[in-house]
Amino acid sequence: EVQLVQSGAEVKKPGESLKISCQGSGYSFTDYWIGWVRQMPGKGLEWVGIIHPDDSKTRYSPSLQGQVTISVDKSISTAYLQWSSLKASDTAMYYCASRGMGGSYLDWGQGTLVTVSS
C-alpha cells in the first residue's frame, strides 16, 4: 500500500524555526517528484514547491521562494519542508503529495497543521 505519512501538528511562536516531514512507503520513492501544498484556514489549495528525491532538484512558487526550504533524505524516503523564521501568516495545513501522471498528485499525506501564534 502506498502511503505518505506526515509529522504531527505543530504550535510555534513567530520567529521560531520548524521542519515538518513526509515519509513515503510502498513505492519507489526516488522515481517521483514530491510536492508540498498549502491550505490556509478556510482557503483553497496553494502549490508551494516540489523536489525530486533522486537528485534533490527543487522548484518553488515565486511567492514562497526564500520563505521556505524543501529538502529530502532519500536514505529514509523522507521529504521536508522547513522555515527559519515563522510568521503568523504561515498558519496553515500543509500537505505533501506525489505519484500522479505528469505533475498531478495521486497520493497525499494526511496533512500537518502548523499554527503560528504569539
Instruction: Summarize as ranges the residues that interact with another protein (CB under 8 A).
Output: 35, 37, 44-47, 49-50, 59-62, 95, 97, 100-106, 108-111
Nearer to another protein, 29 or 60 (CB): 60
Spatial neighbors of 64 by CB under 8 A, at least 6 apart, are 38, 48, 49
Measure CA 107 to chain center.
13
Grid cell 518553488 in the structure block, residue: 60
Nearer to another protein, 29 or 105 (CB): 105
Interatomic CA distance for residues 100 and 79, integer angstroms: 17
**Shortest distance (Å) from residue 19 CB to another protein:** 21
**Shortest distance (Å) from residue 30 CB to another protein:** 20
Per the CB < 8 A criterion, the answer to whether 112 and 9 are in contact is: yes
**Shortest distance (Å) from residue 51 CB to another protein:** 12
